[in-house]
Structure 1
């Protein structure tokens, strides 16, 4: 295998050989959306990189859509921050997030009727609005991701984030919680939402390794999973690596044949240092 390396002399090669590097495999690229224009209008999607703050979404990411059970995130947050601090409130909030328990949500919303509009004002969720019945409330994928990013930055130990990470495989009503944004690489915790009445409508919101993402689909769970995975494309693969010692040996053999220092230079390179491989064709 050949490598595109500019010859600087054997002394320079020796300097490269002993320069400290990182052992192990090169890190995989972070997850980023691809062509969001390919996502059908039935799905709204928002993605934010937690490390840089860079955010992107579909054209309809700011549209108010049925919040379904993802608004339980707001109800739980209000109850934990502004409630009476009771054990009952905390237990109901946990059941809402981990098991998507509608009964728990109804009890907390009856006790705290401002628990959707309150967080909307607190976090600047401009498309979010409560209703007489929490299940008829509205939010947007952009609002949901904004909420999650604020929690991760300002309250990283929030039990809400922990409950998302510890979501039950099946909800209180038996629905399997396993679709949409939860299927993305690096997903750590998710809150799902779905409707039991009328045409299928589903939501999912995920905190991941360095990102937050939310999707809302006028369709089935399978429809949403298809749209989300299409938006992000195949999972990124780790860059191929090769031992640095092999690279140096190739340089020495091809550019400094017969030089008595060559063997010393190659032997000076630690055997466990890997570099990203960049093979080229031709002479």
Structure 2
């Protein structure tokens, strides 16, 4: 074919999931409930951290930043998922498709960096307790948070811009949102070198960040084992267990999709796994960080009492 005729398509069609009959509205309602609970849960954490002085520590500052990120992360893909569940195949303009691709990967890479920053915070709190207040001052917290966002949105420029410049012959995206592999399958040209660049960029970020997190937790584990009592060891470990769970969920699913064998994409399993890090992880984060957290429960009680006293005065 003449490459001149392989022009930039004006729109794509999101195929979504193949669900028919009475199951479609049930899946739609279930997804909608999870989405609304995700929004409510992450907003709850943000408001609680801002409202209660007992949570004005670096750890909860970064948790609130993560919750703020999850609000945008889940809202980047779930609305299109809901639309495809309700109406079936849904058209999306090429501009909206590439913006979704860029924002989704920007937020995903930002979360990678932020999870690394949160591991660093736990390392300094446990391994450098005397110097911790100075090392993790408010200014440092803000700088680390901003650096995570800047690095994430900068790194995503490479895969997003390369994909946007591809010539496309087909329009049906076999996914519920615009992602790298489904879009490359629609290209009129060989995309093998694009795939290699994507794997190198995404794998480098994920692997380097995961190695950093594992190294920091190696130091944390050594410090915890040196603590004198079992109670102090359990207390120190409890401050890390929630973060470890989130790291395992996020990196595990991301590695399978973006660094795993190509057969996964061919089988369409990537759509199922994508639900883990694009919907399930943002939904579970508030639960993981609050369910067994005594400080959050006590803060919730204090804020609830304040609201109750304020309402009585009205």
TM-score range, shorter chain: under 0.3
Q: TM-score when scaled to structure 2?
A: 0.22
Which protein is richer in helix relative to its size?
2
Q: TM-score when scaled to structure 1?
A: 0.24
Structure showing greater Rg: 1
